[in-house]
Structure 1
Amino acid sequence: MNDAALFDEAFGQLDDDGREQLDLAAASDPSLADRRARFRGALALLLDSDDPEPPSDLAARTTARLRRHAEEPRILEFAPSRPRARWVDVGVAAAVMLIGLMSLVPAVRHQQQSVSKLMCTDNLRQIGLAMSQYAATHHTFPYVDPSCPASYVGAAFVQLNEDGLLHDHRTLDCPCDGTSRTTEQLPQFAELLGRERHRPGTCREDIRVDYAYHLGNVHPTTNRPIPLPFNVDNRVPLVADQPPFRLDRASSNGQGSGVGGVILVGNSPNHAGAGQNVLFTDGRVEWRRTRWIGSFDVDVYLNQSNLTRPGVHFRDAVLTPCVMRFRD
């Protein structure tokens, strides 16, 4: 017999045959008889009393259980005790943080240099677009005859500005040169010429540009300097980051002081000597780790004779700082 028969008997749901079988089973099974008696007593207590009395030993059993629970180990007792903070520990933590920050500095600096190099590339592309528009109109790239007193290489950018092709003067400043100086405005060529006639060499400050420009070439027949023609081979260097140079007091035409200069060894200081961006006549800009362009142009800053003079042929580009002169 199972407990279901006890429930049925208690609630009057058990028939005579079932009750008889339950009696026989209880007579032969003392445990069943005991469960039957306790079940009847509990049911009678529940149904017949509105305020049942709790067992007499309930309080003692509850107290004993609470005492046993208090004596059991708690999970916090297994946690290590917190030691007191020491200045040594603080110093070690600070050192670790400082080393971590210092390891980030080269990465941040490299990222800034990469962004600046991209900005320099964009400057040259904008300059190349202005140069191409000028050459399409004048059939040559900007150039000032060496016999002119204001024949500075930077005057080529003055010509671009006067033709309304140089929309943002900030493109003349390389963001990698380590200075925050920007070109606010360029003078008119007539103003530049007047200053140069009055005080030779003083107008260099008006045309300071961070890029070097093409010096021109020598005519194959007359041996006279000529500007770079518009229909030249599309792979000729036109503008680049300026080279390391030194100005001297030499004069190529005997008209005054402050007109000479020397191109020094090494890459452009604009990028800390790592290389230079070079703009070609087809409008593309390439990063060069050396001054070598090819067998036809071994040094983008000097001609094939290793001089700061016009190129000996059309593919021999000589890019000169803007504070130096066009000269033969």
Structure 2
Amino acid sequence: MCDEDEQLVRYYFGELSDAEKAAFEQRLVDEPDLAERLETFSRCVDAHQGAECCEESEPEKVPVPRRLADRTAHAILAGHLERAGECVGRKRYNLVEVVAIGVAATFLGGLILPAIEASRESSRRDQCAFNLATLGQGLQSYSQDHGHIPQIGLTQNAGLFTLMLAEGRYFDREELQRSLVCPSSNLSQMIADGELKVIIPTREHLEAANAEQLLELQRLMAGSYAYRIGYFQGRSFIPFGGKGGCRSAILADTPTLASGTEVVSRHHGKCGQNVLFGDGHVAFVSSCWAPDDVDHLYLNDDNQLAAGHDEYDIVLLPGDVTPLGVQLFELGE
């Protein structure tokens, strides 16, 4: 609504000061067009038709500006048209136009914002997959030198694989720290906010840490990912050595450990997780089950976050969990 419309409405409802009222009434005397607009507005209000009953209901009563044809022809002959901004200072909108613009903006926002967020999540998922592929290259180099990927002992936490990669100089420690953070994880946001930092400790660092410090190091040293551990053969524990192919998972987005809920990764909107496989390729798996199999990526056959019961029972553990595991609930309860 432009200033003149606002002043007309305020005058009609008696909201002008004495000085403003006197000045406006003088304008009504001097400006017949303004007086006619006031009369039209009064009829609309009296008829309870609101703001939308305006000049469009009686277009024949809107006076045509004097000498419009002459002034338009003069402007064309002069080689330009007057710009509205030069005449009135700024674009004027009435109330109906403002509401229409607001509705259109809301509608477009409802379409565009979800698309933008979906594009951002797609980008984060791609970066996560790139991180896993980078880690896979380091694991492959380690395997070429040692005959197997970093192996986790029965009482060791799964995140120790990062220490082994750093010790062998398969990664610069800062590069490794960056590669261990999924952009879609809560950890990524906490790092951005300065609340946490992924640290790849040395063995000396671990030995010198007190109990509280050790737990924190173990919790963070694998970053956003869960690592493949081994399985039991009878009473013997067999560390996973990296043998496998395109269906043998080695690394994946870490699961959320919350009693009473499913053991799933929440990094990508709980829609699935990126998984690094034994042949080096990375794929997005839309469930917690290994592709074309019934084996859960994070739980053994007893639905425990612990070592598998045989070589076909694949289990990927968060960085602070050992193959002895964390007793969890039965799935479906």
TM-score, normalisation: structure 2: 0.61
Instruction: Work out the CA distance in 2 between the residues paired with 1:89 and 1:197.
Output: 66
Instruction: Work out the CA distance in 2 between the residues paired with 1:110 and 1:226.
Output: 42
1:157 aligns with 2:162: yes
1:187 aligns with 2:201: yes
- 1:309 matched to which residue of 2? 306
User: Any idea what the Cα deviations from partners look like across 1:262-281, whole Å, max 9, x if unmatched?
Assistant: 79515311112111111111
- 1:228 matched to which residue of 2? 240
1:269 aligns with 2:266: yes
TM-align CA RMSD? 3.1
Q: Is the 8 A contact 1:143 1:227 kept in 2?
A: yes
Instruction: Work out the CA distance in 1 between the residues paired with 2:152 and 2:304.
Output: 19
Superposition map of 1:1-328 within 5 A: 85-147=93-155, 151-167=156-172, 168=175, 169-178=177-186, 179-182=188-191, 183-195=197-209, 201-207=215-221, 209-219=223-233, 223-246=235-258, 264-294=261-291, 297-327=294-324
Measured at CA, do residues 74 and 266 of structure 1 come closer, stay the same or move farther in structure 2, by a change above 3 Å? farther
Instruction: Work out the CA distance in 2 between the residues paired with 1:193 and 1:223.
Output: 29
- 1:42 matched to which residue of 2? none
- 1:67 matched to which residue of 2? none
Letter in 1 for 2:209: R
Letter in 1 for 2:100: V
Letter in 1 for 2:282: V
- Identical columns (%): 23
Letter in 1 for 2:139: M
Instruction: Work out the CA distance in 2 between the residues paired with 1:102 and 1:199.
Output: 46
Instruction: Work out the CA distance in 2 between the residues paired with 1:138 and 1:117.
Output: 31
Measured at CA, do residues 206 and 296 of structure 1 come closer, stay the same or move farther in structure 2, by a change above 3 Å? closer
Instruction: Work out the CA distance in 2 between the residues paired with 1:317 and 1:125.
Output: 20
Instruction: Work out the CA distance in 2 between the residues paired with 1:293 and 1:300.
Output: 6
Q: Is the 8 A contact 1:155 1:207 kept in 2?
A: yes
Instruction: Work out the CA distance in 2 between the residues paired with 1:326 and 1:316.
Output: 13
Instruction: Work out the CA distance in 1 between the residues paired with 2:294 and 2:239.
Output: 17
Q: Is the 8 A contact 1:158 1:188 kept in 2?
A: yes
How many residues are treated as equivalent by the alignment? 233
- Find the residue that maps to 2:209 and give its secondary structure: helix
Q: Is the 8 A contact 2:306 2:322 kept in 1?
A: no
Q: Is the 8 A contact 1:242 1:268 kept in 2?
A: yes
- Find the residue that maps to 2:182 and give its secondary structure: coil
Measured at CA, do residues 143 and 264 of structure 1 come closer, stay the same or move farther in structure 2, by a change above 3 Å? farther
Q: CA deviation at 1:217?
A: 1.8
Q: CA deviation at 1:291?
A: 1.1
User: Which blocks of at least 5 consecutive residues in structure 2 are unaligned?
Assistant: 1-68, 74-83, 85-91, 192-196, 326-333
Instruction: Work out the CA distance in 2 between the residues paired with 1:263 and 1:203.
Output: 26
Measured at CA, do residues 310 and 326 of structure 1 come closer, stay the same or move farther in structure 2, by a change above 3 Å? closer
User: Any idea what the Cα deviations from partners look like across 1:272-328, whole Å, max 9, x if unmatched?
Assistant: 211111111111111111111156552011122322221222232101111222327
Letter in 1 for 2:305: T
Q: Is the 8 A contact 2:263 2:298 kept in 1?
A: no
- Find the residue that maps to 1:122 and give its secondary structure: helix
User: Which blocks of at least 5 consecutive residues in structure 1 are unaligned?
Assistant: 1-72, 247-261
Q: CA deviation at 1:234?
A: 4.8
User: Any idea what the Cα deviations from partners look like across 1:227-246, whole Å, max 9, x if unmatched?
Assistant: 21243445311001111214
Instruction: Work out the CA distance in 2 between the residues paired with 1:103 and 1:297.
Output: 38
Q: CA deviation at 1:98?
A: 3.4
Instruction: Work out the CA distance in 2 between the residues paired with 1:99 and 1:121.
Output: 34
